[in-house]
């Protein structure tokens, strides 16, 4: 066990040595240069404005999601927190979190989500405030607010030759965009928040190294990137994002950039190795279900590809016009389609156009080219083009890529109001930053509309019942939404005080279970719930019929076998 670690350390020192020796060797007298006009007090004053704006952004982000602080658990919060026996161990369960997949404490056996950092945070949250979703929501909102501040400061540093309005508007649009409600309002999505925050911090200190050329900043960057990787697997896309930033916003040569990224590749390799050892040791995970990702049901590659592009078009549209929002658009809300579908052709044209533009403008280091490439790189792993992931659609998957849309939107606004994004005045004051009243009036309206939608959507995430109830309005043909809403209705029936109310809730639940089986006839869970529903009605013949249908589609179904046993007892 010791030898591999020594090799890794030696490898890192070798890389560091290469980086140091690659620096310019000329040490002679440098030609005299004029002193910058900006004085030290002015620079300090500008830094204060920078951090003042960052603080305001953080406060803005916190207030946007303050109405989630009283929410409960929803969706995967149960499998990763409330009903996860490892998480519920608090401090004592942290070791197990690093040796198992994210849902091991809910369903021991094979799994594919290895995210020990957020799972560790869930354990610590449980240790500090057991079974207290309000505390967990507070952590989510706090880290989201911090992300806004860090993103702004990082972009302002990288774009120091740009108009300060560019990073400011980019960050404001990013923070306010309603598509992030799933990330912040769903406790489980802490993995997205932490991964992106750590990746941006890694970028921040990478830039510190590029400016100061002190190796300690590079080491700090490596540490943050390692934490990002162990937060969520999609951090691996930043292996391309980091060099993209360096290429566009410095004069570094490709060979230098290549050497610079090697340590990050090594870290990613270590993560992949550890993940494969942990996840692989628990057995092969089950194939992706059609219920989770309807693309898994495609009968041929052309249908699968066309349907994937249909979803990609929906992702672009929800960024442009974030309404309606939904937690699930799975089987069969969006049926499989082909390339004869005009929506598919429009999506292909949009994505192809963006790609061609980005490539054509790559050499000139055009800012829109950068934004497009940033989006494509960070969204690639969730696109269902490269691999079939565990879901066909999820607004949370846009989180790390959405700053690119905010950049493009900021660029558009600046051009409309004749504010060039690539000009700067390092003597900016708060009064000069906000001097363009027409621009800020427009931005204020946009942020207000985003904020209203965000706060309104937050309310839907209060409980599982409210979420499924609202989302069925926009995705009535989702089998999973109908099934899970039926479960929530059953809970309402169980909690009802009198028999008349109980029966009313149970009858509503049956309708949604039947709807789920109409959409997806092989839905064993829904048939099992129908069997239980008719057992409650003392209609044992129907109960047995539906139990048998559940077993037809899932022969190994312990709960149904147990329930059937009660019919004969």
281: pLDDT confidence band, cut at 50, 70 and 90?
low
Instruction: Give residues with Cβ within 8 angstroms of 65, minimum separation 6.
Output: 140, 141, 144, 184, 185, 454, 458
User: Is the peptide bond between 332 and the residue preceding it cis, with omega within 30 degrees of 0?
Assistant: yes
Condensed to tens digits (0 to 9), the pLDDT of residues 386-396 reads: 888 989 999 99
pLDDT value of residue 284: 60
pLDDT at 558 exceeding the cut of 50: yes
pLDDT value of residue 1: 38
Other Cβ atoms less than 10 A from the Cβ of 504: the count is 15
For each of the domains in the chain, give its residue range(s) and CATH number, in order of start: 294-454 (no CATH), 478-568 (1.25.40.10)
pLDDT at 259 exceeding the cut of 80: yes
pLDDT value of residue 49: 85
| Residue of 135, 267, 254, 255 whose CA lies nearest to 199 | 267
Instruction: Give residues with Cβ within 8 angstroms of 301, minimum separation 6.
Output: none
d(CA 524, CA 552): 8
pLDDT at 288 exceeding the cut of 50: yes
pLDDT at 352 exceeding the cut of 50: yes
d(CA 367, CA 264): 25
Other Cβ atoms less than 10 A from the Cβ of 321: the count is 8
Helical segments of 282-380, H only: 301-320, 342-360, 367-379
Handedness of CA 163, 168, 169, 171 (dihedral sign): positive
Q: Cβ(300)–Cβ(157) under 8 Å? A: no
d(CA 426, CA 432): 11
287: pLDDT confidence band, cut at 50, 70 and 90?
confident
| Residue of 369, 294, 365, 364 whose CA lies nearest to 336 | 294
For residues 381-402, average pLDDT: 94
Condensed to tens digits (0 to 9), the pLDDT of residues 41-89 reads: 445 546 788 899 999 999 999 999 999 999 999 999 999 999 999 999 9
Q: Cβ(453)–Cβ(323) under 8 Å? A: yes
Condensed to tens digits (0 to 9), the pLDDT of residues 21-42 reads: 444 443 444 444 444 444 444 4
Handedness of CA 60, 241, 195, 267 (dihedral sign): negative
Helical segments of 22-80, H only: 40-64, 77
d(CA 53, CA 67): 23
511: pLDDT confidence band, cut at 50, 70 and 90?
very high
pLDDT value of residue 418: 80
Condensed to tens digits (0 to 9), the pLDDT of residues 111-167 reads: 889 999 999 999 999 999 999 999 999 999 999 999 999 999 999 999 988 999 999
pLDDT value of residue 221: 98
Dihedral of the CA atoms 450, 455, 457, 459 (nearest 10)? Answer: 180
Q: Cβ(347)–Cβ(310) under 8 Å? A: yes
User: Is the peptide bond between 324 and the residue preceding it cis, with omega within 30 degrees of 0?
Assistant: yes
pLDDT value of residue 136: 98
pLDDT value of residue 101: 92
Dihedral of the CA atoms 379, 380, 382, 385 (nearest 10)? Answer: 140
């Amino acid at each position: 066990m010791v030898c591999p670690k020594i090799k890794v350390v030696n490898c890192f020192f070798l890389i560091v040595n290469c980086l140091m020796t690659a620096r310019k060797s000329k040490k002679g007298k440098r030609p005299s240069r004029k002193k910058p006009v900006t004085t030290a007090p002015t620079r300090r004053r500008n830094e204060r404005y920078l951090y003042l704006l960052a603080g305001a952004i953080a406060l803005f982000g916190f207030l946007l999601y303050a109405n989630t602080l009283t929410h409960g658990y929803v969706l995967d919060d149960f499998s990763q927190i409330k009903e996860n026996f490892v998480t519920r161990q608090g401090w004592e369960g942290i070791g197990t979190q690093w040796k198992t997949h994210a849902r091991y404490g809910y369903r021991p056996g094979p799994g594919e989500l290895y995210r020990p950092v957020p799972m560790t945070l869930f354990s610590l949250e449980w240790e500090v405030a057991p079974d207290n979703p309000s505390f967990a929501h507070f952590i989510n909102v706090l880290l989201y607010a911090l992300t806004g501040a860090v993103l702004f400061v990082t972009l302002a540093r990288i774009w120091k030759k740009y108009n300060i309005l560019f990073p400011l508007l980019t960050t404001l649009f990013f923070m306010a965009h309603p598509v992030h409600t799933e990330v912040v309002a769903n406790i489980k999505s802490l993995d997205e928040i932490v991964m992106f925050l750590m990746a941006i911090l890694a970028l921040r200190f990478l830039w510190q190294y590029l400016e100061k050329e002190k190796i300690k900043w590079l080491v700090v960057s490596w540490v943050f990137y390692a934490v990002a990787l162990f937060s969520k697997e999609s951090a691996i896309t930043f292996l391309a994002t980091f060099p993209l930033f360096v290429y566009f916003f410095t004069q570094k040569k490709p060979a230098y950039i290549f050497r610079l990224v090697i340590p990050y590749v090594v870290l990613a390799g270590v993560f992949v190795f550890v993940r494969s050892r942990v996840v692989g040791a628990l057995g092969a995970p089950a194939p992706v279900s059609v219920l989770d990702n309807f693309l898994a049901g495609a009968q041929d590659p052309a249908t699968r590809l066309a349907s994937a592009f249909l979803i990609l078009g929906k992702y672009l549209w929800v960024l442009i016009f974030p309404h309606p929002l939904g937690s699930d658009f799975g089987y069969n809300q969006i049926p499989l389609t082909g390339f004869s579908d005009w929506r598919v052709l429009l999506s292909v044209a949009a994505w192809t156009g963006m790609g061609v533009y980005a490539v054509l403008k790559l050499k000139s280091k055009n800012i829109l080219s950068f934004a497009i490439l940033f989006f494509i790189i960070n969204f690639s792993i969730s696109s269902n083009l490269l691999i079939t992931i565990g879901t066909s659609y999820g607004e949370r998957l846009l989180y790390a890529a959405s700053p690119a849309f905010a950049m493009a939107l900021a660029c558009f606004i600046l051009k409309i109001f004749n504010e060039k994004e690539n000009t700067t005045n390092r003597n900016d004051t708060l009064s000069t930053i906000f001097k363009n009243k027409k621009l800020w009036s427009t931005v204020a309206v946009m942020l207000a509309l985003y904020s209203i939608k965000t706060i309104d959507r937050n309310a839907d995430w209060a409980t599982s019942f409210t979420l499924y109830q609202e989302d069925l309005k926009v995705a009535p043909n989702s089998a999973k939404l109908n099934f899970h809403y039926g479960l929530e209705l059953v809970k309402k029936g169980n909690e009802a005080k009198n028999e008349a109310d109980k029966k009313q809730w149970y009858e509503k639940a049956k309708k949604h279970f039947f709807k789920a089986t109409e959409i997806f006839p092989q839905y064993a869970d829904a048939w099992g719930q129908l069997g239980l529903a008719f057992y409650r009605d003392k209609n044992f013949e129907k109960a047995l019929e539906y139990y048998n249908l559940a077993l037809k589609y899932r022969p190994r179904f312990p709960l149904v076998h147990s329930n059937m046993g009660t019919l004969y007892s």
